Amino acid sequence: MFAIIGIVVVLGAIVAGYLMEHGNLMVLLQPAELIIIGGAALGTLLIANPMHIIKAIVGQLTGILKPSPFGKKRYTETLKMMFEFLNKVRKEGLLSVEMDVEKPKESAIFKKYPDFLKDHHICDFVCDTLRMAITGGVEPFDMDQMMELDMEVHHHEAAAPIAALSTVADALPGLGIVAAVLGVVITMGAIGGPPEEVGHKVAAALVGTFLGILMCYGVVGPLASLMTKGTDAHNEYLHVLRVLLLAFLKGNAPMIALEMARRAIPAHLRPTFEEMEKACKGTPAT
């Protein structure tokens, strides 16, 4: 939502300032320049990236237009879910949760938390780790290494669409110059015609440079930056789960593991100890 508001503010401020100087908005409406710049930008994106990255860019752009899923409420629900799950493990043993881990969508515990199940990577991250714990024979240090490796691979994959979009943003000013040069070529062909026509063609050429720079620094670049923050938020959430799971695998009680995880939550999203305790009250404590 804030991304849309920001784009509107950028465009509104530019248009307002332009009109204050008695500019003619119709001069800025140059469909041909938009086709040249936008089409060339799309073409460079297709040349440089495989289809799965193109799809990831679309998916991430769609995601950033919605509120972040990793808010304080999500973290509190996650702590509550893991407290209930780890309590069951502590009371009945690891084998009691084998079916929960193997078929999380059928788990009586996980079904209460649809946000957890909808995010396949997070669900797999937790269940795969617990599956190895149930199998046995894996030291906590090695489990931590596996979780870290999983996070690194996911972060690398999530960063690829951002790098691709940033490359397009960097290319936009140059593509604007290409559009401007083509406009100058057209203007040279009109030399000798009416001054009004020549002036209109010169203005159209300059609009190409303007659009390229505006799209780079006012739209595409900031969107790539926002995508980076979304990826970082996902990685922070995984880090909290990693801390929680590792603490429990080392033999700590569920509430101790939760407290260690709570302190790994970013400060502006972190629930207080009282809030976490209140959220977990519905689950029998140990």
Confidence of residue 281 (pLDDT cuts 50, 70, 90): confident
Give 14-46 pLDDT, tens digit per residue.
Answer: 999 989 988 888 888 888 889 999 999 999 999
CA–CA dist 171, 41 (Å, integer): 7
The residue with greater pLDDT, 262 or 62, is: 262
Secondary structure (3-state) at 136: coil
pLDDT at 66 over 60: yes
- For 122, list phi and psi in degrees, rounded to 5: -65, -45
For residue 145, give the DSSP letter. Answer: H
Average pLDDT over residues 98-118: 92
Confidence of residue 135 (pLDDT cuts 50, 70, 90): confident
Of all residues in the chain, the percent with pLDDT exceeding 90 is 68
Average pLDDT over residues 189-197: 77
pLDDT mean across residues, the chain: 90
Average pLDDT over residues 231-251: 94
pLDDT at 157 over 90: yes
CA–CA dist 97, 134 (Å, integer): 9
CA–CA dist 224, 230 (Å, integer): 10
CA–CA dist 156, 281 (Å, integer): 38
The residue with greater pLDDT, 220 or 65, is: 220
pLDDT at 286 over 50: no
Confidence of residue 243 (pLDDT cuts 50, 70, 90): very high
Smallest Cα–Cα separation from 98: which of 123, 130, 122, 125? 130
Q: What is the DSSP string of 17-67?
A: HHHHTT--HHHH--HHHHHHHHHHHHHHHHHHS-HHHHHHHHHHHHHHTS-
pLDDT score at 282: 62
Q: What is the DSSP string of 217-257?
A: IIIIHHHHHHHHHHHHHHHHHHHHHHHHHHHHHTT--HHHH
pLDDT score at 191: 79
In the chain, the amino acid numbered 177 is I
pLDDT at 283 over 80: no
pLDDT score at 271: 94
CA–CA dist 120, 122 (Å, integer): 6
Q: Residue 162 burial by CB count (10 A; 0-12/13-18/19+): exposed, middle or buried?
A: buried
pLDDT score at 145: 94
Confidence of residue 172 (pLDDT cuts 50, 70, 90): very high
Each domain of the chain, given as residue ranges in start order, spans: 32-279
pLDDT at 285 over 50: no
